[in-house]
Structure 1
Amino acid sequence: MPNSTEVRAPDPDRAPVRVLLVVAEPMVRLQLRRLISGRPEFEVAGTVRSEAEIEGAVAETRSSVVLVDGRDARTGAAAAIRLAARCGLRGVLLQEDRASLGANSLPCPTNLAAEEPGGAFMQQLAGLLRVPASASAPAARLAPARPGFRPELIAIGSSTGGPQALTELVRALAGRRPSVPVLLTQHMPSTFTAMLADQLSRCGFPAVEATDGMPLQPGRIHVAPGGSHLLVRRDGDRLVCVLDDGPPENFCRPAVDPMLRAANRVANGRVLAVILTGMGSDGLLGCQGLVAAGGVVLAQDEATSVVWGMPGAVARAGLCHAVLPLSAMADAVARLATGGLS
């Protein structure tokens, strides 16, 4: 008998969350596909059998979240969750019972065939799979920047949940692109950074995977390629990209801190840093130096972040000009980029 719990109606302004299943057992794949596809806010983007297949599948399916059957040793669950995070995606784990549950884990019923899309299990799973939407927010209330502040560069850092947040931010900025170059470091393997640049370009804001010596262009996003830190230097009267293969920082390459240090150095503090959702504290040290030199930092708030690690670190350190929901971030960036809050 189908459970009578109401299935959540889709938000017409949000595309369905694309779920990649990492499930070794065919019958489990079949039942999870049935349950997830039965909810209009989700779609199954693809299925793989183990963590070894995730990287290629994420690139092909443009998934938003990875669901792993942690009950089956064949899936390589721990490695699968780590790889999902490296790809900037939320990883959700199905477990045997509550004893071993983490924040993004859920006990899986023994008989999935008896479950329904509107049932209690799927209601709980939907809450974990759903990429947080930005809460509606009033116009951003920002303190004035230092007198005369107008950035020469905008530098964005993000990690887990970043691709979705970046898409929303860039789409909102597309109609009023800042007339300064934008640097972007998203924690992501090299397989995906060119794809990310292409995805952002389709949102109406020109983006390109950076190459060594590439001149920075106003109104264009320069994406750090996987495997290299993205730095910047002056070459006469222009700024150019520098790719650095030095050691990882904060366990990452590319990392946000070296990008911010380089931006701060060439622009003498005239940098607007935007720290979006992500695990860890990458960006904290770079923001400290930036603020000391007169730069401005915006951070995404906890409610709209998939993981409030990176933005939370700069917020707790007292470095932020403002901590904002994602829905208010584009307006704040546009206003600061034009000196509207000097």
Structure 2
Amino acid sequence: MISRIAISDVSPSIYFGGEFVPVKAVPHEELTVYATAVIEGHEQLTAEVVVHNASGKVVSRHAMTEVAPGTNRLQASISVAEVGDYFFVIEADSTSQYRTVLGSSEKYPLRADRERALVGSWYEFFPRSEGAVRNSDGTITSGNFATAALRIPAVAAMGFDVLYLPPIHPIGFAHRKGANNSLTPTATDPGVPWAIGNADGGHDAINPELGTMADFESFVTTATKNGLEVALDLALQTSPDHPWVHAHPEWFNKRADGTIAYAENPPKKYQDIYPINFDDDYEGIRDEVLRIIRLWASKGVKIFRVDNPHTKPVHFWQEVLTIINNESPEVIFL
């Protein structure tokens, strides 16, 4: 309901699904807040942006000024000092010799992520390529976390902030792709890392060719010692060999003949990848994804690069990101 002082057109603000959702910033980043405030007659208004922390305590007040005289369009710059959840409101008042009128806007949520969410240089890094050896018989011995770790100091010396890894999980064998997207791979073709899952495990497992979980943790430790963060690809899809396919067939789209539909983006076909169907067990999928994120966060991964986020429901991301942000504010998503 509009109060006596009408406050409207507030920005930045995002209205989604019947509610305001957080705008993003990092600590000490200046955000310019705009609003239009009017009252009947010719009285002059004053207004402030009032910033509150998640518990509702006022942390700062910022006087607003007119963008241009006579427009009733107001502005003020705000910032917050720490990572966390906040909200701001616009408070306006008009005082004349006859009365004092106060007005307040809606609450507009603000989320402050750590600085790496705003800026950082990324180095995409395939561990299986670092230290790989072509043998005399033409086969290739994959690089692994131990050989790849030897490259980390050189990457750090180039000034990068983030070491970004593609999926490091077991790769499917069914419909495995060969060189140049061939459907007839050789016995030595390693497959596509995004075709996740085989008998060795799924999104919570390490490709044995790359090493063990202990090897991965050592890799992360080496990166940290060299001033680099490790970002991991979060690809919510599977190979036909993924454990989910057998344990949760309802998580996948079915054709009329009952077979699972592989991924397509015409004219492209991805016979080695099954997309996820969120319709039949949304809560089960959500909880499994949360488990996976928590697992890798516990191993030192605090950045996730999400593969094809637009192919998953918006409300799924809203829910997952809110839960993880509340539990682990240092975890960020790209």
Q: Do both proteins adopt the same fold according to a TM-score greater than 0.5, normalized to the shorter chain?
A: no
Whose RCO is larger (CA < 8 A, sep 6+)? Answer: 1
Which structure shows the bigger proportion of residues in strand conformation? 2
- Which bracket does the TM-score occupy, shorter chain normalised? under 0.3
The higher radius of gyration belongs to 2
Which structure shows the bigger proportion of residues in helix conformation? 1
TM-score (norm 2): 0.25
